[in-house]
């Protein structure tokens, strides 16, 4: 039997050190509910992107003004509706539609009453003895009215002669009825055509733009089967009475009326009223009916035929041909191939999402671990990608607007690295979704880079407008450069009007983003839960109501906060953190002390007895710890942004209130039977621990600023030792475990705080007493 165990081999020792496999670790993480929730949210937005960019369809890559240096051949046989020819055919059929006129009942009754009216007037001719006895209406009907200078004198002899001619033809009164009946019989036959077809109003010729040879459709009052298509000349009374008209050509057939041709024509012109009226509604309906019934004119293209000649710049007509080929090809894609394409797009997005997710987990834990912030971030990317896809078509060509807006917002809200990575991802997806070239990707990415690089700090709103301007300049110059490289034609810059219009349009959209982001900063801060430098500068104003209240209630705390702000800003800047955020956070970090200022040593005057003398250590610790909760409530009442409230919550982390803990321990030790009743957790702040480098810097600065005031002789060496001990104590207590502060950065913070405190507590030369005069 072995006395000593067998010696382990090297392989056995290494095997005993192996940890669980990556699959086991992944399964453990996925089993957590919060991780599953975040993954589900990512998947939902991923599907939304696929649907938004129509991932099952191949993109239409052509745009107005694009260059086709190698030409484009037809890939399939297809037909295209020729819109221009179709519109011409529709216009031709519309023009063939005759204007539609309808009978008016009032005019028709007047035409039917003309023979009776003429009969009465002829009887009047033989019954009167003198011309002057003829009624005014009858004389007006026959045109026997003096005009001009003769209007008030005796009737003209020719009027009297015409009247006498009628009397002679009719004969004596006792036989006049038979003769008049003969006149009226012939007149009724003579005037039958106008009564059947109707009479047009001459004013309609100009209103409807009619000519004598124009044909019109007359809608009969007896039904559609009686409708007639007639020429305008057949319906105008003046044209009818001409020698070639329907009335003027038949005078010879009416021997009784022939001697009175001139007088009857004048009588008809004075008495006949139009019986046809133009029907605008019916005419337009008929034209629309003909327009929509016009068959479309199509052009046929065979596979391999030349659609676009080499070197041609795409115009609207060519784009229409290419779009028709694209639509025809899409209709031929089977369902299986669409599924394959959809799966491929989804896989590509998953790969891109995994890379971005890895960056978020490693470098942006606040964003990756917070469901609300992650949802807003993914929603912004999804909306941007969808808008970038659909705004890329003519005539907008505005895909740069949503991409640049989100990139600038992320640079302001988080950091430039995250903004650049997200901007790259969005630009890549939008470019692929639109089927655009590498040159288009380069142009968009250059504008994104130009909008992110200057945004390391935003001290005023005008800077965002300037960034938009420089993004526009970058877009313009890179567009021209890419065009020259791709086409090898330098002259296009001043000869291609479409290129100039498109490039300046895109630059204008880039310039617009600066105004959009500048105007939307308050909403951006609220949505992303961040605070910009502009808001920080506004909150740093000493006239802020909360700071004014702190000055009045707790002046010692206010002085302490100013000291912490000064040294923490310098320390934060030294490690590349946000010094301005650290300074403003320091202004507000102890505002909770104003509710019980006398319980804090900085607000006590010399010789004053501490109120803690009358309290037990547990109660004193409760008062001290309570200033964190009170500060959070006050900050929220005054609408202080959440990032500053985080400083209030985290500037003590979960540190121990050592003075009162040790006092409680001494009390417990003095009573042996109760020495274990002191719980350390009772004397610790509730936290959380610092989540950012800025909060960690403020924690150390707050501690060392207060502790340095207790030094009787603040020499540089003592200050350096004090700062190091406090920082080391916070480190060993695990207060920096949840933030990204490194040991190297902590050393830099110590050095900066030491120098700042040495400068504050530097010695002065004692001046000799001033002699009295």
Residues contacting residue 505 through CB under 8 Å, at least 6 positions apart: 397
Which residues in 342-474 belong to E strands, given as ranges?
A: none
Q: What is the CA angle 20-26-27, rounded to 5?
A: 90
Q: How many angstroms separate the CA atoms of 175 and 168, rounded? A: 12
Is this prediction's pTM over 0.95?
no
pLDDT at 4: 44
Please answer whether residues 483 and 67 qualify as being in contact, where contact means their C-beta atoms are separated by less than 8 angstroms. Answer: yes
CB burial of residue 273 (10 Å; 0-12, 13-18, 19+): middle
Distance CA 473, CA 510 (A): 9
Q: What does the block give as tokens for 694?
A: 């800025």
- Sequence-ordered alpha helix ranges (H) in 575-672: 579-588, 617-637, 642-650, 658-669
Whether the Cβ atoms of residue 529 and residue 642 lie closer than 8 Å to each other: yes
> Are residues 473 and 460 in contact, defined by beta-carbon separation less than 8 angstroms?
no
222-to-105, 114, 257, 532 alpha-carbon distances in Å: 12, 21, 31, 82
Residue 282 CA to residue 101 CA, distance in Å, equals: 9
* Residue of 687, 613, 609, 615 lying closest to 648 (CA atoms): 687
Tell me the torsion sign for CA atoms 545, 551, 556, 558.
Answer: positive
- pLDDT given for residue 632 in this prediction: 95
Q: What is the C-alpha radius of gyration for the chain, rounded to an integer number of angstroms?
A: 49
User: What is the Cα–Cα distance from 594 to 599, expressed in whole angstroms?
Assistant: 10
CB-count exposure of residue 357 (10 Å: 0-12, 13-18, 19+): middle
Give the number of other CB atoms < 10 A from CB of residue 311. 12
Structure tokens at 277: 């009226």
Asked if 654 and 689 touch (Cβ cutoff 8 Å), the reply is yes
pLDDT along the chain (773 residues), means of 10: 49 52 59 82 93 91 86 91 90 91 86 90 88 88 72 72 88 85 90 88 83 86 70 88 87 89 90 90 92 91 92 88 92 91 92 92 86 91 94 90 94 90 95 90 95 85 92 95 84 82 93 92 81 86 92 93 95 93 95 92 80 86 92 94 93 92 83 67 91 94 91 89 94 92 94 93 62 46
Instruction: Please choose, from the candidates 469, 472, 482, the residue with its C-alpha nearest in 3D space to the C-alpha of residue 506.
Output: 472
Contact 705, 560 (CB under 8 A): yes
Q: How far is CA 343 from CA 42, 336, 428, 556, 660, in A?
A: 17, 11, 18, 65, 64
pLDDT for residue 769: 61
Q: Which two tokens stand for residue 200?
A: 């047009």
Cα separation, 99 vs 102, whole angstroms: 10
* Phi and psi at residue 701, to the nearest 5°: -60, -40
Which structure tokens are listed for 503? 């490039």
Q: Which residue spans within 92-186 are E strands per DSSP?
A: 100-103
Per-residue confidence (pLDDT) for residue 531, from 0 to 100:
83
The alpha carbon of residue 37 and the mean position of all alpha carbons in its chain are separated, in whole angstroms, by: 30
DSSP state letters, 681-713 = GGGB---PPP-SHHHHHHHHHHHHHHHHTT-SS
Which pair of structure tokens corresponds to residue 322?
Answer: 């290419």
Cβ atoms of residues 726 and 700 within 8 Å: yes
CB atoms within 10 A of CB 300: 9
Report pLDDT for 17: 47
Q: Give residues with Cβ within 8 angstroms of 676, minimum separation 6.
A: 668
Residue pair 275/103 in contact by the 8 Å Cβ criterion: yes
Burial class (CB within 10 angstroms; exposed 0-12, middle 13-18, buried 19+) of 418: buried
Q: What are the phi and psi torsion angles at 313 (to 5°)? A: -90, 130
Residue with tokens 């060392």: 704
């Amino acid at each position: 039997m072995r006395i000593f165990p067998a010696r382990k081999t090297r392989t056995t020792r290494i095997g005993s050190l192996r940890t669980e496999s990556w699959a086991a670790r992944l399964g453990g993480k996925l089993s957590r509910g919060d991780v599953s929730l975040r993954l589900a949210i990512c998947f939902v937005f991923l599907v939304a992107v696929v649907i938004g960019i129509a991932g099952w369809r191949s993109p239409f890559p052509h745009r107005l003004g694009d260059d086709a240096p190698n030409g484009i051949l037809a890939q399939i046989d297809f037909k295209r509706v020729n819109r221009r020819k179709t519109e011409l055919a529709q216009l031709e059929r519309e023009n063939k539609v005759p204007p539609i006129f309808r009978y008016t009942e009032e005019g028709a009754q007047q035409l039917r009453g003309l023979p009776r009216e003429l009969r009465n007037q002829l009887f009047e001719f033989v019954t009167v003895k003198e011309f002057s006895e003829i009624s005014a209406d009858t004389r007006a009907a026959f045109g026997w009215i003096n005009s001009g200078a003769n209007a008030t004198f005796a009737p003209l002899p020719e009027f009297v002669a015409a009247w006498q001619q009628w009397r002679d033809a009719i004969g004596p009164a006792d036989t006049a009825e038979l003769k008049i009946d003969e006149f009226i019989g012939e007149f009724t036959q003579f005037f039958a055509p106008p009564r059947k077809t109707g009479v047009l109003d001459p004013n309609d010729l100009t209103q409807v733009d009619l000519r004598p040879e124009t044909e019109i459709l007359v809608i009969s009052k007896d039904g559609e089967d009686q409708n007639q298509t007639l020429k305008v000349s057949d319906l105008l009374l003046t044209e009818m009475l001409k020698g070639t008209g329907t009335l003027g050509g038949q005078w010879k057939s009416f021997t009784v009326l022939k001697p009175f041709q001139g007088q009857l024509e004048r009588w008809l012109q004075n008495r006949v009223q139009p019986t046809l009226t133009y029907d605008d509604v019916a005419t337009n309906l008929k034209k629309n009916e003909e327009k929509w019934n016009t068959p479309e004119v199509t052009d046929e293209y065979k596979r391999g035929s030349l659609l676009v000649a080499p070197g041609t710049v795409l115009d609207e007509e060519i784009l229409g041909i290419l779009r028709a080929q694209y639509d025809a090809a899409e209709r031929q894609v089977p369902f299986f191939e669409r599924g394959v394409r959809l799966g491929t797009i989804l896989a590509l997005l998953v790969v891109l999402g995994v890379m971005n997710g890895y960056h978020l987990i490693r470098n942006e834990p606040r964003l990756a671990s917070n469901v609300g912030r992650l949802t807003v971030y993914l929603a912004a990317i999804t909306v941007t990608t969808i808008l970038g896809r659909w705004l890329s078509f003519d005539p907008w060509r505005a895909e740069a607007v949503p991409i640049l807006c989100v990139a600038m917002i992320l640079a302001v809200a988080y950091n430039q690295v995250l903004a650049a990575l997200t901007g790259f991802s969005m630009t890549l997806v939008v470019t692929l979704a639109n089927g655009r070239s590498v040159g288009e990707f380069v142009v968009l990415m250059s504008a994104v880079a130009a909008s992110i690089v200057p945004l390391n700090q935003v001290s005023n709103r005008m800077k965002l407008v300037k960034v938009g301007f420089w993004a526009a300049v970058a877009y313009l110059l890179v567009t021209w450069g890419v065009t020259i490289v791709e086409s090898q034609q330098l002259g296009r810059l001043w000869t291609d009007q479409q290129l100039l219009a498109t490039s300046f349009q895109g630059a204008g959209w880039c310039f617009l983003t600066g105004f959009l982001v500048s105007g939307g900063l308050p909403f951006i801060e609220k949505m992303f839960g961040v605070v910009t430098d502009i808001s920080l500068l506004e909150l740093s104003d000493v006239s802020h109501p909360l700071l004014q209240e702190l000055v009045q209630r707790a002046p010692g705390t206010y002085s302490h906060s100013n000291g912490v702000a000064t040294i923490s800003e310098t320390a934060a800047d030294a490690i590349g953190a946000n010094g301005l955020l650290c300074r403003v956070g320091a202004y507000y970090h102890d505002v909770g002390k104003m509710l019980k200022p006398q319980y804090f040593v900085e607000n006590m005057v010399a010789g004053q007895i501490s109120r803690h003398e009358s309290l037990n250590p547990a109660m004193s610790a409760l008062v001290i710890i309570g200033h964190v909760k009170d500060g959070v409530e006050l900050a929220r009442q005054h609408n202080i942004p959440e990032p500053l409230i985080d400083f209030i919550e985290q500037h003590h982390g979960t540190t121990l209130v050592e003075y009162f803990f040790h006092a409680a321990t001494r009390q417990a030790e003095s009573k042996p039977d109760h020495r274990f009743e002191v719980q350390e957790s009772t004397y610790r702040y509730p936290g959380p621990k610092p989540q950012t480098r800025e909060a960690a810097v403020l924690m150390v600065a707050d501690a060392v600023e207060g502790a340095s005031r207790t030094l009787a002789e603040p020499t540089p060496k003592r200050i350096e030792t004090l700062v190091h001990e406090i920082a080391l104590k916070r480190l060993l207590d695990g207060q920096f475990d949840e933030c990204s502060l490194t040991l190297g950065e902590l050393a830099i913070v110590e050095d900066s705080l030491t120098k700042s405190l040495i400068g504050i507590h530097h010695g002065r030369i004692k001046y000799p007493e001033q002699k009295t005069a």
